[in-house]
Amino acid sequence: MPDAELSETAMTLHAVRLLGFADTAAVARRYLRATSEVSEVLLDLEAFGWVVRSEFAGSHGWSLTERGRARDEEHLAAQLDATGARPAVADAYVRFLPANARFLDAVTRWQIRPLPGDPVAANDHTDHHWDDQVLDRLTSLGHLVGSLTIELSEALPRFDGYGPRFTAALTRALAGERRWVDGVDVDSCHTVWMQLHEDLLATLGLDRADES
Residue among 96, 199, 211 nearest 146 (CA): 96
In this predicted model, what pLDDT tens digit does every residue of 111-147 receive, in sequence order?
Answer: 999 999 999 999 999 999 999 999 999 999 999 999 9
Banded model confidence at residue 171, pLDDT cuts 50, 70, 90:
very high
In this predicted model, what pLDDT tens digit does every residue of 28-58 receive, in sequence order?
Answer: 999 999 999 999 999 999 999 999 999 877 8
Sequence letter at residue 199: D
Banded model confidence at residue 209, pLDDT cuts 50, 70, 90:
confident
Residue among 10, 20, 16 nearest 77 (CA): 10
Q: What is the mean pLDDT of residues 71-81?
A: 95
Assessment of whether the complete model's pTM goes beyond 0.75:
yes
CB burial of 33-64 (b: ≥16 within 10 Å; e: otherwise) equals beeeebeebbeebeeeebbeeeeeeeeebbbb
Sequence letter at residue 117: G
CA distance 62 to 51: 6
In this predicted model, what pLDDT tens digit does every residue of 19-32 receive, in sequence order?
Answer: 999 999 999 999 99
Banded model confidence at residue 1, pLDDT cuts 50, 70, 90:
very low
**Phi, psi dihedrals of residue 63, rounded to the nearest 5°:** -145, 160
